[in-house]
Amino acid sequence: MTDKEYRELSEKSESLAQNKLYEEYINYVYTIVYNKLRSCATNEDIEECVSDVFLAVFLNYHNNQGLDGDLKGYIGTIASRKAINKYHSLIAKSGRTVSSEDYFADIADSKRIEEEAEKEELRDIMIRLIESLGDPDSTIVLQKFYFNRSSKEIAKKLSMTSGAVRVRCSRALSRLEKLLANEGITLKEGF
């Protein structure tokens, strides 16, 4: 969901826009929050922080007009800041001290986790677009590129000839490349 899509949907129905935003970004936010709080928080603390992130987004997003469409970056920044604040609050309540090594290790690790979340999002987009190709094209592409099966193995599984599998795969990749371009992704990034 882009900034523009969220604002347009929000004009029609605020609650529908919020639900859609929540569904799309819950895993991303949870990953960021969990990574920062896993060493000191309970599951309830983590869930509370995730809720606080979405509350902050819902309450403040309309006030930020200069975001230039970067909704994901905005949400990731709020998630990171809320999690850091919660981390400091929990550490202060427990009376523990945190070494700078531990603190900075968590920060460095969170970048890796955020990158993994972005990769997972890319994989989800790829699977959705591959499935939109329909059968047998989606099956051929998945078998070929995700399960590393040969054209001969795929052909046997789908009761086709190896040549037909190669032709369908080539055509499916051309269609997939166009679908990915509409999403702003290159075929090379997807695989």
pLDDT digits (tens, 9 = 90+) for 116-130: 777 777 877 888 888
Instruction: Provide the residue-wise pLDDT of the chain in tens; the chain has 191 residues.
Output: 666 777 777 788 888 888 888 888 888 888 888 888 888 888 888 889 888 888 888 887 765 555 556 677 788 888 888 888 888 888 877 666 555 455 555 555 556 666 777 777 787 788 888 888 888 888 888 888 777 888 888 899 889 998 998 999 899 888 888 888 887 777 665 55
Q: Token match 């070929």: residue?
A: 144
Other C-beta atoms closer than 10 Å to the C-beta of 188 total 8
Residues 108 and 113: their CA atoms lie apart, in Å, by 9
Please, are residues 169 and 145 in contact by the beta-carbon 8 Å criterion? no
pLDDT digits (tens, 9 = 90+) for 144-162: 877 788 888 889 988 999 8
Residues 77 and 42: their CA atoms lie apart, in Å, by 22
Task: Let me know how long the chain is.
Answer: 191
Show the domains of the chain with their CATH numbers.
1-114 (1.10.1740.10), 132-191 (1.10.10)
Residues 57 and 67: their CA atoms lie apart, in Å, by 13
Residues 6+ away with beta carbon under 8 Å from 153: 143
The pLDDT value recorded for residue 167 is 92
The tokens describing 80, both together, are 């990171």
Of residues 94, 89, 75, the one with CA closest to residue 30: 75
